[in-house]
Amino acid sequence: MVESLDLRSRLAQALSAISFEHSERTAATAVKLAKTHSADEEKALTAGLVHDAARDLTDEELLKRAKEYRIEISAIEEEKPYLVHAAVGARMAAEDYEIVDESILSAVKNHTFGQTNMSKLDKIVFLADMIEPKRDFNGIETIRELAEENLDKAFAVAFQMQLVRLINQGKVVHPKAISVWNSVAKEVGKK
Ligand SMILES: [Fe+2]
Ligand SMILES: [Fe+2]
């Protein structure tokens, strides 16, 4: 695995200043959450730094990469290539940034729609991306507090808020996010 200093400088070159600074804040937040919840801080740092590796690619580049990597593209993604930035980013993390750890690649891949059976690191990176210090939306304080206390609950509430927000804004919801939500709702319903 590349050292985080090297990874940082390469990402600083590849990303816009806005995305790079967001990635740094996401990484710092992920490390904090990893510390609180006894997860691997090194992996949280790396995953946080690299999670948006594909964030600044143009739509054409995203689709081209997705095809190269044989990532399945649905009609929704074809229309909004931004939706594949997590899946493409995970492959870029492996191929361009030489990250081999599957748990880190999984956290990158799942930082937008999640997946069923999220690992602790998946949840940490998902939440860190959503609550890093410069983020601001209605209800964020609730998620920030929950993230300190209970990762599973924080993820469930964060995921729910994200879906509701997308719907309220009239935006497209990826079918994968709906199926992840159904499994989250089932889990939450049990408790
Ligand atoms: Fe992202
Ligand atoms: Fe992000």
Mean of pLDDT values over 147-171: 95
Distances (CA, A) of 59 to 80, 88, 142, 147: 8, 12, 34, 33
Q: Using CA atoms, how far apart are residues 174 and 145, in angstroms rounded to an integer?
A: 27
- Contact between 173 and 180 (Cβ < 8 Å): no
Q: How far is the CA of 87 from the centre of ligand 1 (A)?
A: 10
Q: How far is the CA of 130 from the centre of ligand 2 (A)?
A: 7
Out of 1.10.3210.10, 1.10.10.10, 1.10.10.60, 3.40.50.10490, select the CATH number for domain 4-137. Answer: 1.10.3210.10
- pLDDT-derived band at 3 (thresholds 50, 70, 90) equals low
φ/ψ of 32, rounded to 5, equals -60, -45
What pLDDT, on the 0 to 100 scale, is given for residue 110?
97
What pLDDT, on the 0 to 100 scale, is given for residue 2?
52
Mean of pLDDT values over 117-131: 97
pLDDT, tens digit, 9 for 90 and up, residues 27-50: 999 999 999 999 999 999 999 999
Mean of pLDDT values over 43-71: 97
What pLDDT, on the 0 to 100 scale, is given for residue 138?
92
Q: How far is the CA of 116 from the centre of ligand 1 (A)?
A: 18
What pLDDT, on the 0 to 100 scale, is given for residue 172?
86
Q: Using CA atoms, how far apart are residues 27 and 43, in angstroms rounded to an integer?
A: 10
What pLDDT, on the 0 to 100 scale, is given for residue 187?
81
Q: Using CA atoms, how far apart are residues 157 and 184, in angstroms rounded to an integer?
A: 9
Among left, alpha and beta (phi > 0; psi -120 to 50; other), residue 104 is alpha
Q: How far is the CA of 56 from the centre of ligand 1 (A)?
A: 10
pLDDT > 90 fraction of the chain, expressed in percent and rounded: 90
pTM of the model: 0.95
Q: Using CA atoms, how far apart are residues 86 and 130, in angstroms rounded to an integer?
A: 14
Domain positions in the chain: 4-137
pLDDT at 155 over 80: yes
What pLDDT, on the 0 to 100 scale, is given for residue 186?
87
Mean of pLDDT values over 128-154: 97
Q: How far is the CA of 108 from the centre of ligand 1 (A)?
A: 8
Q: Using CA atoms, how far apart are residues 51 and 92, in angstroms rounded to an integer?
A: 10
What pLDDT, on the 0 to 100 scale, is given for residue 89?
98
